[in-house]
């Protein structure tokens, strides 16, 4: 399966089907348990009970749809207008695609913004902080989580217009993404 297949389409949207949610959890296990070794068997936690999963789905003629990226978002339990993003993961064979992670971040912040978000935060692994800075985020503080350096980062909401159609989401133009 070629990540840059011109006939394939990648759509980033809120997960709406059981197979999308299961694909997102499987991808998170691959990235955070198998590849990075941050968690032993599974990375699911109490946040998953109330978080919204977002997925990047590859749709190609003659092939089953495949989740190739994911992130989750949720409201702060005490401050209704503060939202968090976490567990951003892109399949290893699609990381060079160039826009999957950025589009997941865009929909995460824009859809939360449409739901009343006034502050959007994430704990970002240090190696990913430059990507977030390019996407109009700033570091608030640095910390160690799960034995790894992280940045607590905040999105500039002015750069993320509200998206009221998150189940439709955004299509990634394959010609521009390569």
> CB–CB of 55/103 below 8 Å?
no
In a domain, 2, yes or no: no
Domain that holds residue 76: 9-177
For β-strands 119-125 and 82-90, DSSP reports them as parallel
Instruction: Point out which residues pair with 117 in neighbouring strands.
Output: none
Q: Look up the CATH number of the domain holding residue 167.
A: 3.40.630.30
Q: Report if residue 136 sits inside a domain.
A: yes
pLDDT tens digits, one per residue of 61-116: 999 999 999 999 999 999 999 999 999 999 999 987 769 999 999 999 999 999 99
Residue 1 confidence (pLDDT) above 60: no
Q: Is residue 89 part of a domain?
A: yes
Output the DSSP codes for 113-155: HHTT-SEEEEEEEGGGHHHHHHTTEEEEEEEEETTEEEEEEEE
Question: Is there a domain that residue 3 lies in?
Answer: no
pLDDT of residue 46: 93
In a domain, 4, yes or no: no
pLDDT of 178 reads 44
Per-residue pLDDT at 71: 98
Number of domain units in the chain: 1
- Segment 131-160 shows an average pLDDT of 95
Determine the pLDDT at residue 75: 96
32 exposure class (CB count in 10 Å sphere: 0-12, 13-18, 19+): middle
- Considering the domain boundaries, does residue 66 fall inside one? yes
* The pLDDT of residue 177: 45
pLDDT, one tens digit per residue, over 17-53 is 999 999 999 999 999 888 787 888 888 889 999 999 9
User: Is 42 inside any structural domain?
Assistant: yes
The answer to the question of residue 1 being in a domain is no
């Amino acid at each position: 399966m070629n990540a840059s297949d011109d006939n394939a389409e990648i759509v980033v949207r809120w997960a709406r089907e059981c197979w999308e949610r299961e694909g997102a959890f499987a991808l998170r296990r691959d990235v955070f348990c198998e590849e990075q070794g941050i968690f032993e068997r599974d990375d699911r936690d109490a946040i998953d009970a109330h978080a919204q999963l977002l997925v990047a789905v590859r749709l190609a003629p003659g092939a089953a749809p495949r989740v190739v990226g994911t992130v989750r978002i949720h409201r702060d339990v005490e401050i209704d207008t503060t939202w968090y993003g976490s567990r951003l993961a892109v399949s290893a064979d699609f990381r060079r695609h160039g826009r999957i992670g950025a589009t997941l971040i865009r929909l995460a912040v824009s859809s939360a913004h449409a739901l009343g978000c006034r502050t959007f935060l994430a704990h970002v692994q240090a190696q990913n902080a430059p990507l977030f800075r390019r996407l109009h985020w700033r570091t608030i503080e640095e910390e160690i989580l799960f034995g790894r350096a992280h940045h607590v980062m905040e999105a500039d909401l002015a750069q993320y217009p509200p998206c009221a159609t998150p189940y439709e989401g955004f299509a990634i133009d394959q010609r521009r993404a390569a």
